[in-house]
Structure 1
Amino acid sequence: MVSIRYILVISFLIADPSDVYDDFYFGGWPVNSNKDDIVGANLTPDCEKSQKESLCECSSDQDCRSGKCFSSPRVGKYCLQGDGTVFPRFILQDQFREEVDLYDFAGQGKLIIIDLSTSWCQPCRDLSDWLANDDLSITENRNWKKEYNIIKDLVLNNEIYFINIMLQDSYRDPASVETLEDWYQRYPSENIPVLADADGTILNWLRPTGYPTVILLNDKMEVVQFSIRGWHEAFNYISKLDWKNKSKL
């Protein structure tokens, strides 16, 4: 079988260079011609409103639009992002050193898994090893459920998108393109983009308290299941859907 990446390389060679990057990504990721119509959440919140936006200081759940006031020993109390929040428009470098617009994954009729990982996190490595190499170490994790096994088939069959965003390298420094290349070499998957949060913008906006942190979006880039730690909310949601009757999804 001819791989999609081989086809893309041939297309790249015969195409007008000025049009190439508007038409496709080398990694084969989708392109959304209507992405400019999406209005994402502000990275700098307006904290003067009566019901405060995410990241604003709070004293109780009632202060927050999301209804979730979270207390962190490191940064104090602040409002969490809520379900329905439109994910901001992040443009990040992938494992092929290409700038990838997350909004290109919108409008494709598929759920989008955002996996926040670090190189030093063992469960992060186990999850990617399971998806790429069929290693079963992740199934021995005490937080794993057999119902989650469907997720691998959905990712490999392109029924959902799985986006791996690397926040830190093995030294806990911000992830670089070298971090991505090493990760992709260890856990190669044609269906999974590996992106770097090189400037820490995503880390600051989402503020995960552990890794991996998995967030689920719909094809409008709206948060369906938000989390600051673990895969439970997103994977539980996905595993309970009726995938045999996609018209109900």
Structure 2
Amino acid sequence: MSTSKHLLFSASLFFLPLTLAGCFDEGPAGDDEAASEDETASEDEGADEVETDTGEETAGEIIDTDQDGLSDEEEAMLGTDPLRKDTDNDNYWDSWELIEGTDPLDASSRIYIGSWPYNPDKEELDQGSWEDTGKQKGKSFPREVFLDQYGDTVDVYDFTNFTVNSTKQPAVFIMDLSAQWCTPCHNVANWIAGNDDSNNEWIQEIYPTVREKVHGLFVWWITFVVQDANGGDPSEGDIEAWFQAHWDPYIPLFLDEGQKVLSRFGGDSFPHFFLLNSEMKIEYFPDPSHSTNANPYPAIGLIDTQVPGAE
């Protein structure tokens, strides 16, 4: 999340009954058993009954018209729109912004400056750790926060199960480990950003569909800058310089502070690529023998041939 944003609401608002899981499943009313208990208690106490849209009377019903996890009453207190999940149209639901401390009434105050996705259900996934991770298929990439090109600290698991593309299938990941000193790394970065030149035109010829799939959000291409110009630990200045040289708003650019990613997922050369599925689990980790002149980056080759794109 942004390191510069401020908490814009009273802390008491965070004790409101926000049920984010209900946004996607049953809604903020909770499970049937809990609802039945509430109804029984209300009837015993002689509480007023509310007539629902179905004509049935339900005691103590919580109305959440837009199903964003905030009741209409709470939205009235906040000044947000009870008919819209995202009042300020910044792609983050009002309830998410309250949890993360941004202003749901101000589009310039958002969870991530880069407008990266946000997954409120990420706690339900297998939580990868640095101790248990590995290169084997099915191993989870460690859940970690990384500094991005905008100065935000980003939870990499917020990208999981992202389905905003024309197929509505969750986007997969290609993880790119690049070094500041590495000329081929810069050539690939120019290519994926759409900056064609004589140094990278051959990449487009070999992998003609990949760039379209990245910019169509069928694939998240995540670049980690893992070494500086001298082969040492990268700094914030390295990702800033990389972003200026290869500007692309579709590509998250992360600082590998302490070279934790490099030490666990590095290959024999740069740039180095491997694939994760939509839940951040290893799908393909290349062996050096997989690389050929016809397919020098086999992970990118799988994106080109196996991942569906626009129909």
| Structure-2-length-normalised TM-score | 0.58
Q: Is the CA contact 1:207–1:228 (under 8 Å) kept in the aligned structure 2?
A: no
Among 180, 205, 208, the alignment partner of 1:119 is: 180
Partner letter of residue 239 of structure 1?
Answer: D
**TM-aligned CA deviation for residue 214 of structure 1:** 0.7
In 1, the alpha carbon distance for the partners of 2:281 and 2:98 equals 35
Q: Is the CA contact 2:177–2:271 (under 8 Å) kept in the aligned structure 1?
A: yes
**TM-aligned CA deviation for residue 171 of structure 1:** 1.8
1:101 corresponds to which residue? 155
1:89 and 2:143 are equivalent in the alignment? yes
In 2, the alpha carbon distance for the partners of 1:133 and 1:35 equals 32
2:102 corresponds to which residue? 20
Where structure 2 has 5 or more consecutive residues not aligned to the other structure, the ranges are 1-88, 105-109, 163-169
The superposition leaves residues 73-107 of structure 1 with CA deviations (integer Å, 9 ceiling, x where unpaired) of xxxxxxxx111211111211001111011111111
Among 34, 38, 41, the alignment partner of 2:125 is: 38
Q: Is the CA contact 1:213–1:228 (under 8 Å) kept in the aligned structure 2?
A: no
**TM-aligned CA deviation for residue 245 of structure 1:** 7.8
In 2, the alpha carbon distance for the partners of 1:16 and 1:245 equals 35
2:195 corresponds to which residue? 134
Q: Is the CA contact 1:165–1:195 (under 8 Å) kept in the aligned structure 2?
A: yes
Q: How many residues align?
A: 201
In 2, the alpha carbon distance for the partners of 1:236 and 1:222 equals 19
Among 180, 183, 187, the alignment partner of 2:246 is: 187
Q: 1:38 to 1:17 in 2, by over 3 A?
A: closer
SS in 1 for 2:257: coil
Partner letter of residue 83 of structure 1?
Answer: K
In 1, the alpha carbon distance for the partners of 2:236 and 2:125 equals 27
| Higher RCO (CA < 8 A, seq sep 6+) | 1
Percent identity (aligned): 25
**TM-aligned CA deviation for residue 119 of structure 1:** 0.7
Partner letter of residue 305 of structure 2?
Answer: K
The superposition leaves residues 196-239 of structure 1 with CA deviations (integer Å, 9 ceiling, x where unpaired) of 00111111211322111111111111111113667623122112
Q: 1:16 to 1:210 in 2, by over 3 A?
A: same
**TM-aligned CA deviation for residue 145 of structure 1:** 7.1
The superposition leaves residues 26-72 of structure 1 with CA deviations (integer Å, 9 ceiling, x where unpaired) of 10111111111222444225xxxxxxx84xxxxxxxxxxxxxxxxxx
1:221 and 2:280 are equivalent in the alignment? yes
**After superposition, where does 1:51-70 map in structure 2 within 5 Å?**
54=134
CA RMSD of aligned residues (A): 3.0
Partner letter of residue 242 of structure 2?
Answer: W
The superposition leaves residues 88-144 of structure 1 with CA deviations (integer Å, 9 ceiling, x where unpaired) of 11211001111011111111110111111011111110011112242232234xxx4
User: If you compute each CA radius of gyration, which structure gives the higher value, 1 or 2?
Assistant: 2
Q: 1:210 to 1:217 in 2, by over 3 A?
A: same
1:238 and 2:303 are equivalent in the alignment? yes
Q: 1:21 to 1:34 in 2, by over 3 A?
A: farther
In 2, the alpha carbon distance for the partners of 1:82 and 1:107 equals 21
Q: 1:123 to 1:133 in 2, by over 3 A?
A: same
In 2, the alpha carbon distance for the partners of 1:232 and 1:133 equals 18
| Structure-1-length-normalised TM-score | 0.71
SS in 2 for 1:86: coil
1:72 corresponds to which residue? none
